[in-house]
Amino acid sequence: MKILPVKVGRRVKKELMMNDERMILPIKKIILLTLGVFMLAMNPGKAQTETYSVESNIIYYFTKYVDWPASEKTGEFIIGIYGADHLYNELKIGITGRKVGDQRIAIVKIDDLTDEKFSYPILFIASDKSRSMKKILQATQNKPVLIVTEKEGMITNGSCMNLVILDGKVKLEINQENIESRGLKVAAELLAFDKNSKQQTVQTSNK
């Protein structure tokens, strides 16, 4: 299992606003720029909104560094959001219409879980919906579905990618075994990020 806690400085918001052409960066730099620090005690409401903005960008970059089987590369590339209305809104505004290869990205808000929704390439599960994880895992077993969560402990309970806020920063956790068991491939650049240790923290300069 790969656990990647990353911390960046004040330039994160400026960097995240760059257009697609300028956002084609080495994977290490992308992770450093998209995972931000938020002092939640200072302004909880604003910090939460900014967190969703950062999470939106992180999810978008999952589409760049995770590879789905050829059978899944037709039609729309659907990202399903179960719960987390604010994240749904951020994704809807920010990345709807962008492309994953030749597929146009579509964002779908999930109110109830049905068989059709279990086949979306990316399925995000909000923390307050994690009680449905057992049902989701059973329904998506061996399917090429990247399950993304946002609750501590979910990375060892079936999640492929987990985004949690600890000590005022967003921490990205990756479970390579869970990802590959679904027939998905993770870019070597992403896995190589912490190849020398299971856990590392990186901080950029604010200059």
Ordered per-residue pLDDT tens for the chain, 207 residues: 554 444 434 444 444 344 343 333 444 444 444 444 333 333 444 455 567 778 888 899 899 999 999 999 999 999 999 998 889 999 999 899 899 999 999 999 998 877 777 889 999 999 999 999 999 999 999 899 999 999 999 999 999 999 888 777 777 888 999 999 999 999 977 765 432 224 333 332 333
Please report the pLDDT score of residue 178 as a whole number.
Answer: 94
Q: Which structural domain, as residue segments, surrounds residue 20?
A: 2-203
Please report the pLDDT score of residue 48 as a whole number.
Answer: 56
The closest alpha carbon to 120, from 101, 106, 135, belongs to 106
Please report the pLDDT score of residue 57 as a whole number.
Answer: 85
The closest alpha carbon to 180, from 190, 167, 172, 171, belongs to 190
Work out whether strand 99-100 and strand 103-110 pair parallel, antiparallel, or are unpaired.
antiparallel
Please report the pLDDT score of residue 37 as a whole number.
Answer: 36
Q: What's the Rg (C-alpha) of the chain?
A: 16
**Residue 182, both tokens:** 């679904």
The closest alpha carbon to 88, from 76, 101, 106, 66, belongs to 106
CATH code for the domain in which residue 68 is found: 3.40.50
Number of domains present in the structure of the chain: 1
Q: Enumerate residues 6+ apart whose C-beta is below 8 A from 70.
A: none
pTM assigned to the model: 0.73
